[in-house]
Structure 1
Amino acid sequence: MLTDRTDTRAKLWRTASVQRGYFTAAQAKDAGYSYQAQRYHTQHGNWLQVDRAIYRFREFVDLPAEGDEQLVRWSLWSKGRAAVSHATALTMHDLGTASPSRIHMTVPRNFRQQTDALILHRAELTEGDVEERVGYRVTTPLRALVECAAVGEDQNALDIAIAKALSQGLVTQPKLLYAAQQVGPRAELGVERALAAAS
């Protein structure tokens, strides 16, 4: 039985709509678009190709940006294995003092893809380490603070972020200290200094 083109588009649209208009070639194939049909839609400007095997419906480009569209794109690039982390996650939680110039993402240790567009960190995140957003995952405020301490993030920026997180009730001192101890001495030292500055 032939699939109605409207049904095919509607199926792909439902997938893309929760991903800010982005979708992968595999998702398009699952919706009923052959690779030949995908090539056609790209060549005729119906879809914008943003990366290898990643597309976006043209209609979404004209919508007001929410500021995190690129995070959805990179989540798709990683096949959902990456989580926004470190300084980028602090910005997403409104704890960062400045928007980082490059996106930080944490991927599993066995992740093999590479790109110069991201700063990739390798770690095994637990379910409690991440929060779901529309189209991507981001590390929790607690995890993001400890990550930044572990990589030697600017201590002044870390002090400000931790003070803000404490005042907003996003983290507690005991949980912050415990999480830092689990990550390592550098994280523990950075967190202790930030807590001393906040008291």
Structure 2
Amino acid sequence: MPLGGRPLSRDALLDLAEAQNGLVTRQQAIAELEIDPTAFDALVARGRLERVARGIYRYPRVPGVEYEGYQVALLRTGDADAVLSHETALAIHDISDVNPSRYHVTIPRAHRIRRSDNDRYVIHVQRLPTRQVTWWQQMPIVTPAAAIEQCMAYGTPTYLLRQALDRGARTGAVPRAELTRLTEALERRA
């Protein structure tokens, strides 16, 4: 630590990156960690940070590349309350053979996300109660039951949702009370 007890900016940045699968955003560095924009740009120029997507950078010393796509999907929203959801969550929980072609992320408040790669992402707006959110690989994700419910509303094919309910029941991923409610809702939808 330098004199005065405040950690160096790069140390705080490393701590943040470790909590986010090796990734940080320029906005986080400047707004949350109070890193000078010029200092941040210098870290990028010297190769201490590698650009992954617009405004999102990888700290090369930190592992996490395996799940990088999911972390980018969360960070690109600019919303600290973003969670992996819908078909993405269903696939991660491995209770259905759903194979989403885009990342699904839910944020609590609508706001415009200006990015050139929007075709790779589906942003949903929904306030989620804390009981519907869990963690996977250091990232917030909806529970299996919440993912099934979201996918019903989104229009995911019924056979994939029946599969999710069956596997969720067998593995215990979907609690019995939720299973009954979701099964009835799916039958009404079908």
**TM-score band, normalised by shorter chain:** 0.7 to 0.9
Matching residue of 2:19: 18
Alignment partner of 1:82 is 2:85: no
2:148, 2:109 → 1: CA distance?
20
Say which of 127, 131, 134 aligns to 1:131.
Answer: 134
Matching residue of 2:145: 142
2:188, 2:42 → 1: CA distance?
53
Matching residue of 1:121: 124
Instruction: With the length of structure 1 as denominator, give the TM-score of the two structures.
Output: 0.77
Q: Give the conservation status (yes or no) of the 8 Å contact 2:96–2:167.
A: no
Percent of residue pairs bearing the same amino acid type: 28
1:39, 1:69 → 2: CA distance?
22
2:182, 2:98 → 1: CA distance?
24
- Return 101-110 or 12-21, whichever deviates more: 101-110
- Return the offset for 1:51: 2.9
Q: Give the conservation status (yes or no) of the 8 Å contact 2:148–2:164.
A: yes
Structure 2, unpaired ranges of 5+: none
Alignment partner of 1:33 is 2:35: yes
Q: Give the conservation status (yes or no) of the 8 Å contact 1:150–1:190.
A: no
Can you list the C-alpha shifts for 1:119-151, whole angstroms capped at 9, x where unaligned? 122222111111123442111011111111222
Please show how residues 1-199 of structure 1 align to structure 2 within 5 Å.
Answer: 7-29=8-30, 30-31=32-33, 33-60=35-62, 63=63, 65-66=65-66, 68-78=67-77, 79-113=79-113, 115-178=118-181, 188-190=185-187
Can you list the C-alpha shifts for 1:30-66, whole angstroms capped at 9, x where unaligned? 5453111111221232211223332111234xx4743
- Return the offset for 1:172: 3.9
Change in 2 beyond 3 A, CA 1:58/1:10: same
- Return 51-60 or 119-128, whichever deviates more: 51-60
2:130, 2:183 → 1: CA distance?
17
Q: Give the conservation status (yes or no) of the 8 Å contact 1:18–1:134.
A: no
Instruction: With the length of structure 2 as denominator, give the TM-score of the two structures.
Output: 0.81
Change in 2 beyond 3 A, CA 1:135/1:174: closer
2:42, 2:188 → 1: CA distance?
53
Matching residue of 1:185: none
Q: Give the conservation status (yes or no) of the 8 Å contact 2:21–2:64.
A: no
Change in 2 beyond 3 A, CA 1:150/1:176: farther
